[in-house]
Structure 1
């Protein structure tokens, strides 16, 4: 394992507790990053400032079965993989990359390699939480597309298996024995809406989302048309994005005094509204002419208007300059150029935030992005997609106001600093009491307490969502997808039955431990077919492949029961 960040820590914990393999870690220092947490685990540690041949030889890579490169550095990980392959050409590689287009090409350089993106795995969970959807999982298997939905939103015949009971208080009950109890299900998408009794009133059939996500251009055009209509109906609201609040208040106060002066002159001099307004404007802008014979009330009014004139011209000048400066900043930095509402505010444009804004944009959802660093990875992406982007500290009230948090539908905070994320969420709630907040936090226990104490809508951990798939890839197991249920994770995986394993020759029903594993399909070798409704009494053969939905613990137990008598990665060999 090469890395010392949250993903590396969770992967090590997953490998040791779920699969019981020996792990050696190469990190910069056991005293920095997540080094102290990793050092507390029963692992071998090699400290090295560089990932080079010397570090790999000290880690015993010549006898290792697999190598995980999980630094947030695409080029550095590729370079390290090339060096490791020179030492051990048979090494299985799992490489973390953000640029998956590059990653797909890199796989061709190595005989046994998986390229994974933790950001790509985690981003759908943040998107679905922001939009209030059940889960963002769409998996294509043997000619079928499976998706996650509420039982009330799908036809009974389309349900593949029950996933969880989420309506009760407390933690969700995953893979319940009585599948009819599960309100969250895995279903077959057939591209048609349920109707009548099959669909809850006012709900959206998730199966249609499969079709909708294939036509993002039309949805984006619809969103743009909606914004144009709002602009035509309320053009004055554009001033709020170009003129500061203090200047608006000062200008309104002076205008109020000008109107009051007009009214006094009308009454005192017996003039019409037009004549009184004419005199008031000239007095305010050109200065009053002293008239010793004028009534006292006229003298007082002209004195006030003269004082107003001292402040009015600078205020008008400042307002114009402020609007011009803000307009230029808007064009330069992609800031808001029109009033906006019912949008999603995304804070943090790193790996995950970049994926989140791209997916929301593809779904036709208006987005405003915030990052304190103008050189953040997602800034070019935001500009390419014409997404307004504010450069500033997200936990500051004025930054959130500039992003129109008061009128947004959700605030998604995905920077890498837990404290800053929490502070931003609290400030967002102060601006909108019922704001939907989706928070990125590493520590699961801390996240649960935060949700309860502050009423945060939901919290997610990127490393928690991605670690199971990375760990399974190291052990040559194919994790097809992950399903986030609250802060728990279910895995969709392909598990081959090896010759001589405990389940070879056993009934299919024996593979499903209640509460841990659900077998949803069986891939047979001769002939190669997919059996979606295989009989429970069917005997499993070597080279059969089980497609399962399982908890992390359940998948670990199933891998033990389907593996060969001598596992490829055992207790005496480092991974």
Structure 2
């Protein structure tokens, strides 16, 4: 049975006014075990006194997760199992929303079912890697948002590795918008400016248009897509590429040298033998040489010493030649089959992308690069990683080894690659792999995943690795917005930041009710891109900033996280001036 939206809104408002243990703020609960749980908690904690926040984490956390107790006003509960008992202890009964961001889809689904038994009217925000499973899970619950952080951020890593923009297209009522460079779109297509550079290295995000510096070619804009967007550039696949890889795989370097040396000795010894016996013509010397090499020669006592020595060396060389040829044939066939099947990386490659770390994000990046026709070499330290089977299915060459080792990077032909994408979950390993790759190829494009934003900026300065991204930082705003029931349309990655496209509805009695539209605009924080009048679906994509806002008007904005949070508060009424007794009936 579906829940009436008006009733749900009333329930939510009443919960905020009920005197629950002396604190009438809405209660939010977050469950997780990796970096995303901290970033999401930090995002929600920044809402200040407006919410109460409880975070449930395992007894032993990953070392890359900062201390959650350092966050102001956050209650931390440690539990190794997310069941009804744990949720009741966390006070889930009566809570407004629950975010399940564990890195395991099945754990999140089980926890959601347990949570629903504790609080049926709960809003659920569930992290899912398997999108097919996510669609099914969404239908199980009345009020549920299913999000994939890997799907959100993978386009940004792919675009950065190719030196291009993230392929972000967003469908809005009556138009589709996308991120583009200013020089690639006509002025009338520009919806708003995302970044503005002053030419001296400083970049402003969501700048005020009238105060913008001189436009730079590299500035990013949100533009209207008119007509069919150009398809991503695909590399032409030559028909004999697989056969060439198989042949290169068959030619093992050490074995090839051994075979070559043996053949040279055989040829020289055969020449000396033929000369000592005074053979004439071509066939007889070759015949005697090859026959001797395979051990079919007889001892000739009357032959001179030089001829005997040559025959002796030739016989010994022949004994070595046959096993070497057999080994070369066997290894060549095995390596060729492995290369064709993508079982492991053998041979040298050029102009490919090396992807290190085949977890959730690495697997998404791998798939998208293959879809774009880009040659990829995958590296992971564990054969049990999620993306290993995907690499084998896609016939992507795979190396099982530590990417922090320079030998492993050389095996992946890092010197001749076009980019290195390092997306493992260990910051130290990621940085070490990036530095070792730069030592081999100083001009290599490196896309580095780092959790800590401050650490990423210092890496930029100290090591000149300018493309470093935090998955949790890019994904957390969307999860937080879903918990707060904000109508976020899309999350657009811009450099290491995230710009949110969202609908904000003006509530009667709020500070924005009766205010001009221009009051919403804030340089570097919020840009208005559209307005829909109350009760209308049509959106005015060029609204007059002098337009006076009314109740239920819907404003479409491009905003940063803090800007959207402040705007939602402006569009919301103050707390209800009601004092409800303990007998207040939420089901009335």
- Considering the TM-score relative to the shorter chain, is it more than 0.5? yes
2:238 to 214, 223, 227: 227
Tell me, in whole angstroms, the C-alpha distance in 2 between the residues paired with 1:348 and 1:135.
20
Q: Deviations over 1:511-553 (max 9, x none)?
A: 1111211111112223321110011111112222222112222
- In the other structure, the counterpart of 1:566 is 575
1:186 to 215, 218, 222: 222
Q: How far off is 1:385 after superposition?
A: 3.5
- In the other structure, the counterpart of 2:430 is 421
How many matched pairs? 539
1:248 equivalent to 2:270? Answer no
1:28 equivalent to 2:62? Answer no
Q: Deviations over 1:45-89 (max 9, x none)?
A: 122222122222222222322111110122221222222222222
1:158 to 175, 189, 199: 189
Contact 1:65–1:91 (8 Å) recurs in 2: yes
1:41 equivalent to 2:71? Answer yes
Q: Deviations over 1:376-435 (max 9, x none)?
A: 322343344443444444444554455444443322222222233233334444554433
- In the other structure, the counterpart of 2:40 is 11
3-state SS in 2 of match to 1:505: coil
Contact 1:342–1:366 (8 Å) recurs in 2: yes
Distance 1:333 1:528, change over 3 A: closer
Contact 2:459–2:465 (8 Å) recurs in 1: yes
Contact 2:205–2:524 (8 Å) recurs in 1: yes
3-state SS in 1 of match to 2:382: coil
Contact 2:246–2:340 (8 Å) recurs in 1: no
3-state SS in 2 of match to 1:227: coil
User: Mean Cα displacement is larger for which, 407-416 or 162-171?
Assistant: 162-171
Tell me, in whole angstroms, the C-alpha distance in 1 between the residues paired with 2:483 and 2:171.
23
User: Mean Cα displacement is larger for which, 421-430 or 454-463?
Assistant: 421-430
Contact 1:287–1:309 (8 Å) recurs in 2: no
Q: How far off is 1:496 after superposition?
A: 1.8
Tell me, in whole angstroms, the C-alpha distance in 2 between the residues paired with 1:401 and 1:240.
16
1:147 equivalent to 2:143? Answer no
Distance 1:45 1:315, change over 3 A: same
Q: How does 1:332-347 map to 2 (within 5 A)?
A: 334-335=343-344, 340-347=349-356
User: Mean Cα displacement is larger for which, 547-556 or 426-435?
Assistant: 426-435
Q: TM-score, normalised by structure 1?
A: 0.83
Question: Which structure 1 residue ranges, 5 or more long, are not aligned?
Answer: 193-206, 214-218, 569-575
3-state SS in 1 of match to 2:490: strand
- In the other structure, the counterpart of 1:517 is 526
Tell me, in whole angstroms, the C-alpha distance in 1 between the residues paired with 2:280 and 2:496.
73
Contact 2:359–2:386 (8 Å) recurs in 1: yes
Distance 1:41 1:240, change over 3 A: same
Tell me, in whole angstroms, the C-alpha distance in 1 between the residues paired with 2:412 and 2:173.
44
Q: How does 1:114-513 map to 2 (within 5 A)?
A: 114-166=145-197, 168=199, 170=201, 172-177=203-208, 178-179=211-212, 181=215, 183-191=219-227, 207-209=229-231, 223=236, 226-230=237-241, 235=244, 238-260=246-268, 280-286=289-295, 294=304, 305-306=314-315, 308-330=317-339, 334-335=343-344, 340-396=349-405, 399-401=408-410, 403-456=412-465, 458-513=467-522
Tell me, in whole angstroms, the C-alpha distance in 2 between the residues paired with 1:397 and 1:322.
26
Distance 1:106 1:187, change over 3 A: same
Distance 1:284 1:456, change over 3 A: farther
Tell me, in whole angstroms, the C-alpha distance in 2 between the residues paired with 1:567 and 1:6.
36
User: Mean Cα displacement is larger for which, 63-72 or 435-444?
Assistant: 435-444
Question: Which structure 2 residue ranges, 5 or more long, are not aligned?
Answer: 1-29, 578-588
Q: How far off is 1:9 after superposition?
A: 0.3
Over aligned residue pairs, what C-alpha RMSD do you find?
Answer: 3.2
Tell me, in whole angstroms, the C-alpha distance in 2 between the residues paired with 1:106 and 1:350.
22
2:562 to 531, 553, 565: 553
Q: How far off is 1:163 after superposition?
A: 0.8
Distance 1:174 1:264, change over 3 A: farther
Q: How far off is 1:561 after superposition?
A: 1.6
Q: Which structure has the larger Rg?
A: 2
Q: Deviations over 1:151-178 (max 9, x none)?
A: 1111121111111135745563212224
Contact 2:341–2:395 (8 Å) recurs in 1: no
Distance 1:543 1:300, change over 3 A: farther
Q: Deviations over 1:116-138 (max 9, x none)?
A: 11111111111111121123311
Contact 1:70–1:96 (8 Å) recurs in 2: yes
Higher relative CO (CA 8 A, sep ≥ 6), structure 1 or 2?
1
Q: How far off is 1:358 after superposition?
A: 2.0
3-state SS in 1 of match to 2:239: helix
Contact 1:520–1:547 (8 Å) recurs in 2: yes
User: Mean Cα displacement is larger for which, 273-282 or 346-355?
Assistant: 273-282
Which structure dedicates a bigger proportion of its chain to helix?
A: 1
3-state SS in 2 of match to 1:499: coil
Distance 1:257 1:189, change over 3 A: farther
Distance 1:465 1:32, change over 3 A: closer
Q: Deviations over 1:70-119 (max 9, x none)?
A: 10122221222222222222222111111222222222332322111111
